[in-house]
Copies of this chain bind each other. A is one copy, B any other.
């Protein structure tokens, strides 16, 4: 895609410019994740970014636009993870394990962002929500594709592919709800555990 995404892993919001707009966006992610969109005030966001409430409206038209920007960037990132794994090398089991492992790792490691992305969809306006739902449909399709490949090649035993697709994505997404940094597990550990559990769900032998 764009050239600005090359540092996406190191600097998660590197594509957001100018600097003041990025600071506001990072502050909004923290506030939305902690209190929820509706319970967060524009004064709270501006305060976390070290600015006055009015500064927010120089860079964003409304509070909802801020949420939309966060949600769009997050969903694009999530989709890239899943499509990257779906189109990767190896058999269906390898690709499924890779998809779950990296998707879960993102939901755990960036759980504040993921929480906003996954749980504040209803706060978006109708057109913005429709745009985001299209990205989610493509995420669903990427996982379903792996399962269909595995079934066709005899690697998986899955009676209900759409239902299992839903369950796999649901399992990964819910990590953002319960994960917190004070827990005992690291994002890598949760990713490994979940990849194993999902392989069992589709009837594939566990990875080494």
Residues of chain A whose beta carbon lies under 8 Å from any beta carbon of chain B: 35-36, 38-39, 119, 122-123, 159-160, 163-164, 166-167, 170-171, 173-175, 177-178, 185, 190, 193-194, 196-197, 200-203
Which 6 pairs from chain A and chain B are nearest by CB? A38-B38, A174-B174, A38-B39, A170-B174, A163-B193, A171-B171
Q: How far is the CA of A190 from the CA of B164 in the complex (A)?
A: 10
- B residues in contact with A178, CB < 8 Å: 166, 170
B200 touches A122 (CB 8 A): no
A197 touches B39 (CB 8 A): no
Partner of A200, one of B166, B170, B200: B200
A36 touches B166 (CB 8 A): no
Q: How far is the CA of A200 from the CA of B197 in the complex (A)?
A: 8
Q: How far is the CA of A171 from the CA of B39 in the complex (A)?
A: 27
Q: How far is the CA of A177 from the CA of B122 in the complex (A)?
A: 11
Residue in B closest to A121 when the chains form the complex, CB atoms: B177
Q: How far is the CA of A167 from the CA of B196 in the complex (A)?
A: 12
Q: How far is the CA of A202 from the CA of B166 in the complex (A)?
A: 19
B38 touches A36 (CB 8 A): yes
A119 touches B119 (CB 8 A): yes
